[in-house]
Structure 1
Amino acid sequence: MDKDKDMEHEDFKNLPRGIALSWGLVKRPQRGPKGELSIAQIIEAAIAIADKDGLAAVSMSRVAASLGFTAMSLYRYISSKDDLLLLMQDAVCNIPIPPEEQRNYWREEMRAYVRVTIHVFQEHPWYGDIPIYGAPVTPNNLKIVDWGLRSMRKLPFNDYEKMSIVLLLSSYARSCGIIQRDMARAVRTGGSPSAFSGLDYSAELKQLVQPDHFPYLSPVVQSGAYTDEIENENTVGNDFDFGLERILDGIEHYLAAKMPVAQMPSDIEKK
């Protein structure tokens, strides 16, 4: 395949350029001094800028300047900012996938999948600022999808069900990752965790949120649960873990409906 990486392979001519770049299917630039730049260098520089100053700070000219080149030099390698953003997304998804272990319980693997996905948003806060334009199609993104599917290798789900569950877990991880990112941003800019949760305004909310206008919310506010004044003994670690466990409960309930307990492998029965 090394030879194919130096040419635009006919079999992949329908791929958008950014996606083809992520798979190494685009010709290397012929003009300019040999080896003066590389796509990997450009992506690394762009990620460093985004990590430090946010996605809005990333431009072809700024990335080029950080490397000591002109923007035109970059365009010989990556033809648009959209392609650069796609490659940045894929690069930060190049994370170590835990080795497959036959004894791993599917819930444990799904927990790990969600937590590692959330970590990407924490490590690279700009990641969630890039809109979703379609299904993952770049190699590192697809490795993560493959990992998600691996957690269901022993479960009697069809391909549609497996992909739907991966989407459910990924959507939850994205939501949690963005919320945690926003909380961290609020604290960095002078806010406090208690302001973010509403705890600073708990007394005022208890007066404002009355049963005549908010019949179902009012008792929750009065109890202190809305602003995290109290801890629920049923939560596992925090709100995000609690939500994840309920998603996994739902998957397990669906699994039980498809396969009677008597027929379940021992690792599926394990709690």
Structure 2
Amino acid sequence: MPTYRSGAGDPARTLQLLWRQPAEGPRRGPRQGRSVDAIVGAAIELADAEGLDALTMRRVAQAIRVAPMTLYTYVPGKAELLDLMLDRLYADMPRPDRSRKSWRARVTAVARDNRDLFTAHPWAAEVATVRPPLGPGLMAKYEYELRAFDDTDLDDVERDASLTYLLDFVRAAARSTAEARAVQRDSAQSEEQWWAANGPLLARVFDESKYPTAVRVGSAAGAAHGAAYDPEHAYEFGLRRVLDGLGVLVDAARARNAETPRD
């Protein structure tokens, strides 16, 4: 699976487009008959349907019925367009009031919201966001998700690191889920069908006395999940462990705060 990254385009032009600021200097060429929003919407539809490899400026131009060179008068290239697409997804994420819920419930909901985003738009999980452009969608998302850690006594650095830790887990889980689905789709076989076809051969070549632990544990897991890998179980199990780990950090922060003398 190829890796794409945000922030790979012209930073100044990307920020102008994200915040819908006019480009500096006089604009050349005919009057524009499309909008950046329409271009971004068409690009998202294309990526949803066919993936990021299919996302080219030519294909997007065809989708909105303009000449490819005309598209460049709106967006400089695919790198900037990808940043606009991600920011649109972030802007459209739900942000209900969860202030009355526990921090664990709020964090669980943040994880679910991001997983839903990757389920609806699998290509988004392929984009590395180590240097994300600070668009309005991302800033609103970051502000909202940080509040999931209110009342935890975490300091600002811990809060940021905790959110990053959570989102990294969700992204990794989403990519594993997408890979599992791609394997099943490309092989045209379900897990049960694959094991039924290959089980007899594996039974002949596996020496259970040589790999006793692997055979015992693998058999138990396979029987429990009906497959060698169950994305849903992996996500739920992993999220519980993430919450457990954050719980230790929150307990330490609260203990630290309780020990701090107050004026």
Q: Which interval holds the TM-score relative to the shorter structure?
A: 0.7 to 0.9
Tell me if 1:120 matches 2:117.
yes
Q: Which amino acid aligns with 1:249?
A: D
Q: Tell me which moved more, 202-211 or 147-156.
A: 202-211
Q: Which amino acid aligns with 2:249?
A: Y
Q: Per-residue deviation at 1:191? A: 3.1
Structure 1 partner of 2:36: 39
User: Residue 16 of structure 2 contacts residue 23 of structure 2 at CA under 8 Å; is this kept in 1?
Assistant: no
Tell me if 1:246 matches 2:241.
yes
CA-based RMSD: 3.2
Q: 1:133 to 1:168 in 2, by over 3 A?
A: closer
Distance 1:199 1:114 in 2: 35
User: Which of residues 255, 258, 265 is equivalent to 2:253?
Assistant: 258
Q: Per-residue deviation at 1:145? A: 2.1
Q: When you count helix as a share of all residues, which structure comes out higher?
A: 2
Structure 1 partner of 2:3: none
Q: Which amino acid aligns with 2:14?
A: G
Distance 1:246 1:197 in 2: 31
Structure 1 partner of 2:216: 219
Q: 1:96 to 1:57 in 2, by over 3 A?
A: closer
Specify every segment of 5 or more residues in structure 2 that has no aligned partner in the other structure, as ranges.
1-9, 259-263
- The correspondence of residues 71-150 of structure 1 with structure 2, limited to 5 A, is 71-135=68-132, 137-150=134-147
User: Residue 23 of structure 1 contacts residue 138 of structure 1 at CA under 8 Å; is this kept in 2?
Assistant: yes
Distance 2:101 2:19 in 1: 31
Q: Per-residue deviation at 1:206? A: 6.1
Structure 2 partner of 1:267: none
Q: Which amino acid aligns with 1:47?
A: I
Distance 1:45 1:154 in 2: 41
- The correspondence of residues 7-22 of structure 1 with structure 2, limited to 5 A, is 15-22=11-18
Distance 1:42 1:177 in 2: 26
Deviations 1:114-161 (A, max 9, x none): 111111111112222334452452221232222221111111111111
Q: 1:147 to 1:213 in 2, by over 3 A?
A: farther
Q: Which amino acid aligns with 1:73?
A: T
Distance 2:62 2:53 in 1: 16
Q: Tell me which moved more, 169-178 or 28-37.
A: 28-37
User: Which of residues 20, 27, 51 is equivalent to 1:24?
Assistant: 20
Distance 1:206 1:250 in 2: 39
Q: 1:36 to 1:229 in 2, by over 3 A?
A: closer
Q: TM-score scaled by structure 2?
A: 0.78
Q: Which amino acid aligns with 1:114?
A: A
Identity over aligned pairs, percent: 25
- The correspondence of residues 191-210 of structure 1 with structure 2, limited to 5 A, is 191-194=188-191, 201=198, 210=207
Q: Which amino acid aligns with 1:115?
A: R
User: Which of residues 165, 170, 174 is equivalent to 2:167?
Assistant: 170
Q: Per-residue deviation at 1:88? A: 1.3
Deviations 1:207-255 (A, max 9, x none): 656567656534312434488349xxxxxx7321121011101111222
Distance 1:39 1:259 in 2: 47
Distance 1:53 1:143 in 2: 28
Distance 1:228 1:85 in 2: 37
Q: Which amino acid aligns with 1:252?
A: G
State the SS of the aligned residue for 1:151: helix
Distance 2:119 2:127 in 1: 15
Distance 1:194 1:219 in 2: 19
